Amino acid sequence: TIFADKAAACRSLAAELAKLIRETNATGRSVVLGLATGSTPIPLYQELIRLHSEEGLSFSQVITFNLDEYLGLERQHPESYWTFMHRQLFDHVDIPAENIHIPSGTVGDVAAHCAEYEAAIEAAGGIDFQLLGIGRTGHIGFNEPGSPRDSRTRRIELDPVTREDAAPAFGGLDKVPTHAITMGCGTILAARRIGLLAFGAHKAAIVREAIEGPVTDQVSASFLQDHPDACFYLDRAAAGQ
């Protein structure tokens, strides 16, 4: 779907999520949301906070699983995704702390932690709605080129392009972590509905490849072509190609 601008796209998606939360909670069930970081979803989170404070949207029955976390960063590090999610959303809504799941960047046994993360998603009943952004390498989460379609939550080496894009926020390329933990493509594709947000002309080329290019592990977002209920929410610039 092509929107006039990112504000319109985020308002539309926030309304869709609010409806999902309210309708699912009305049946007595919790909603399971897969959440994303990056600059792209910030206006969406702002709109969800507004719906919470002005229209009584409650997150008390919402369970969240974030896509990824940098390896080697403490929770309290300013660039950790734990910090990002709390600053951008969780500190401003009524979600119980125990409902929040974000991979740990400092865990000793990474493989066991990843298996536990998958098991927790399963135990929650699977992901109802998975939110995504897209990196310049075509990654969803941190599924860099070469990530298999059936990959699950695991440790991954970050692509040089991804680290370059993160360098300004970290104050230099040498400070950007080299590895991360990410949900796999298979974890993401198991979500019942998927929404990918992309805004700006700098995303146009990779958006075209993801939607119109071949389905390939070289562009992990292209796997969404085969998902039964996936939608790209674009502004005009990101849809430009």
Q: Which is nearer to ligand GLP, 31 or 166 (CB)?
A: 166
User: Nearest distance from residue 108's CB to ligand GLP, in Å?
Assistant: 23
User: Nearest distance from residue 142's CB to ligand GLP, in Å?
Assistant: 5
User: Nearest distance from residue 64's CB to ligand GLP, in Å?
Assistant: 14
Structure tokens at 34: 């897969």
Three-state secondary structure readout of 162-207:
HHHHHHHHHCCHHHCCCEEEECCHHHHHCCCEEEEEECCHHHHHHH
Residues forming contacts to ligand GLP in the complex (CB under 6 A) are 36-40, 67-68, 133-135, 141-142, 162
Q: Which is nearer to ligand GLP, 55 or 174 (CB)?
A: 174
Assign residue 171 a region (left: φ > 0; alpha: ψ between -120 and 50; beta: otherwise). left
Q: Which is nearer to ligand GLP, 19 or 202 (CB)?
A: 202
Q: What are phi and psi of 50, to 5 degrees?
A: -65, -45
Q: Which is nearer to ligand GLP, 164 or 226 (CB)?
A: 164
Structure tokens at 51: 């719906």
- How far is the C-alpha of 3 from the C-alpha of 203, rounded, in Å? 15
CB 158 within 8 A of CB 144: yes
User: Nearest distance from residue 206's CB to ligand GLP, in Å?
Assistant: 10
Q: Which is nearer to ligand GLP, 24 or 167 (CB)?
A: 167
User: Nearest distance from residue 37's CB to ligand GLP, in Å?
Assistant: 5
Maximum alpha-carbon separation in the chain = 49
